[in-house]
Structure 1
Amino acid sequence: MKNWMFLTIAIFGEVVATTALKSTNGFTKLGPSLVVLVGYGIAFYFLSLSLKSIPVGIAYAVWAGLGIALVTLIAWGVYGQKLDAWGFVGIGFIVSGVAILNLLSKTSVH
């Protein structure tokens, strides 16, 4: 169970870093640039810890899929980047895929 907590922390670090990436202005602003570097450092460190028991394909699918969905929601709220109907469908497929991997696939280790 702790490995799933590590994966959750990795996702949080990646979401924070990716969201801050737009604010770096091409890494010309120090504060946001540091947030990006620290966030990705946390993300990769905790992702590596989660891989001790979670298969890499499953961990990466969950990390990337949930990261995409969360960054999209945050970008909507913070940067006003709205989704159209097809955007919602696409994000829905991503979230559905992550759910199927974790709930139905025998590949996932719980």
Structure 2
Amino acid sequence: MHWIYLLLAILFEVAGTISMKLSAGFTKWQPSALLVIFYICSLVFLTLTLKSIQVSVAYAIWSGMGIVIITLVGFFYFSENVNIAKAVSIVLIIVGVITLNLTSEHPEQQPAAASQSNK
């Protein structure tokens, strides 16, 4: 369930960032209100994620995948330019998120004594 919470946190963060762009500096009330709602939802789901996933891993995935998705939205929806440096940077973010996830300790893999001392 924690991965679903993390996915929802990412999607709400992306929706909040899109709303931020559409709010035109808080001059349009509808996207401005949605911005606040989406970011609150994102933080709620990120907080629920942290009950099961280490903060370093969850935050890296949340922010990294948010950057990747919002870059794609910017390119396809807002017609922003993409150059080789941006493309390589996005690939490096994805590699970093995957590497961090693969090399991190998962709570279910920690010894029983370690998990008891964390309570």
Equivalenced residue count is 108
The question of 1:72 aligning with 2:49 is answered: no
Mapped partners of 1:12, 1:40: distance in 2: 10
Structure 2 unaligned residues grouped into runs of 5+: 109-119
**Counterparts of 1:109 and 1:42 in 2: how far apart (Å)?**
25
CA distance in 2, matches of 1:82, 1:109: 41
Q: Report the CA distance shift for 1:109/1:91 in structure 2 as closer, same or farther (over 3 A).
A: farther
Q: Which runs of 5 or more structure 1 residues have no equivalent in the other structure? A: none
Q: Does the C-alpha gap of structure 1 residues 84 and 108 become closer, same or farther in structure 2, counting only changes over 3 Å? A: farther
How far apart are residue 109 of structure 1 and its match?
Answer: 4.4
TM-score of the superposition, structure 2-length normalised?
0.86
Asked whether the equivalents of residues 14 and 67 of structure 1 are also in contact (C-alpha less than 8 Å), the reply is: yes
Mean CA deviation greater in 87-96 or 20-29: 20-29
Task: Report % sequence identity.
Answer: 37
3-state SS in 2 of match to 1:54? coil
Give the Cα–Cα distance (whole angstroms) in 2 for the partners of residues 26 and 19 of structure 1. Answer: 12
What CA deviation, in whole Å up to 9, does each residue of 1:53-92 have, x standing for no partner?
A: 1000100000000000000000111111121011100010
Q: Runs of 4+ in structure 1 displaced over 4 angstroms? A: none
Question: In the alignment, what sits opposite 1:27?
Answer: 26
> Which residue number corresponds to residue 62 of structure 1?
61
Normalization by structure 1: what TM-score?
A: 0.93
Residue equivalent to 2:90: 91
Determine helix, strand or coil for the equivalent of 2:56. helix
Find the aligned partners of 1:109 and 1:96 in 2 and give their Cα distance: 22
Identify the structure with bigger relative contact order (alpha carbons < 8 Å, sequence gap 6+): 1
